[in-house]
Amino acid sequence: MRLLFFGNNKVGWQIAEWLHGQGETMVGVVLHPEAKRKFGAEIIHATGIDPSQIIDGSTLREPATIEAIKALNPEVGVSALFGYILRREALQLLPAGCVNIHPAYLPYNRGSYPNVWSIIEGTPAGVTIHYIDEGVDTGDLIAQRQVTIEPTDTGGTLYQKLEQLSVDLFKETWPLISAGQAPRVLQAKEAGTTHRVRDVDALDEIDLDRTYTGRELLNILRARTFPPYKGAYLRDGDHKVYLRLELLNEDQL
C-alpha cells in the first residue's frame, strides 16, 4: 500500500524505521516544522525519503499542501505521536483511512499528556491504535493494551513504558491494517476524558497555603517528574523552586 507517514518523536522514528524495513512504500512524510521537530532527521534518514516528499505538518490546512498530498496518491496514513489535527480535506485523500498510535487507553486521556493524567486521575494507562476521524482521539478502535502504573512510576518512567508499548503494539497490528482486515470498534465518545496542553499549567504551581491530601500532592509531584522538563514548582518570592520526586522500592535502598 502507498503510505503517507505523519510522525514525530522517538516513537515516530522507530515505527518509520520498522515500516521501511518491512518494504512498505512511503510516498511522503509529514513532519513538524523544523524548529518543533523531535527525531525529524532520524525519521527522514530511516525512510530514505526524498526532500520533495517531505511536508510541513503546520501547513495541512493550506490548499497547496492538500494538492501536494493528492499528487502523492497515498492509500493509507499512519500517524505516530504527530501533533497536528488532521482535517477532512487531508483525511479524504486516504481511501484506506489513517491510523493513529495514541499513548493512552482510550477513551481515557484523549489529547495531551496522557502519562500525567493517568497518575493524577487514577485512570487506566496504556496504548491505543485507532482510526482517525475529525475529532481528537475519538475514532474507531483497532487495538489496545494496558500497562500497570507502579507506585514508583513517575510521569517520565510511565512515558517510557508507553513509548515501548506503542511500538510493540503497532508491529503486532500493522499486518491486519495493511491487509485491510483490522477490526473497527466504535469508541464511546461520550465517555472517558480529554485534556489539552494548557491543562497541566494548573497542576504545576504548588500552593504552600493550600491543603492537599498526601495522595494528591504525591501524585502531582511524581506525575510531573520527567527530566529534563521543568514540572512542578513552588514560589520563593519571585523565584521558582522546581521539585522532582525520587521513588525507590525498599530493595533499591
Buried b (16+ CB within 10 A) or exposed e, 195-221: beeeebeebbebeeeeeeeeeeeebbb
What's the CA gap between 156 and 248, in Å, rounded? 14
Residue 157: CB atoms within 10 Å: 17
218: Cα separation from own chain's centroid: 25
What's the CA gap between 146 and 174, in Å, rounded? 18
What's the CA gap between 50 and 53, in Å, rounded? 5
Q: Name the DSSP class of 95.
A: T
Q: How many residues in total does the chain contain?
A: 253
Q: Is 247 within 8 Å of 178 (Cβ atoms)?
A: no
Is 102 among the catalytic positions?
Answer: yes
What's the CA gap between 183 and 191, in Å, rounded? 20
Based on C-alpha coordinates, what's the Rg of the chain? 20
Catalytic pick from 32, 102, 130, 195?
A: 102
Active site residues: 102
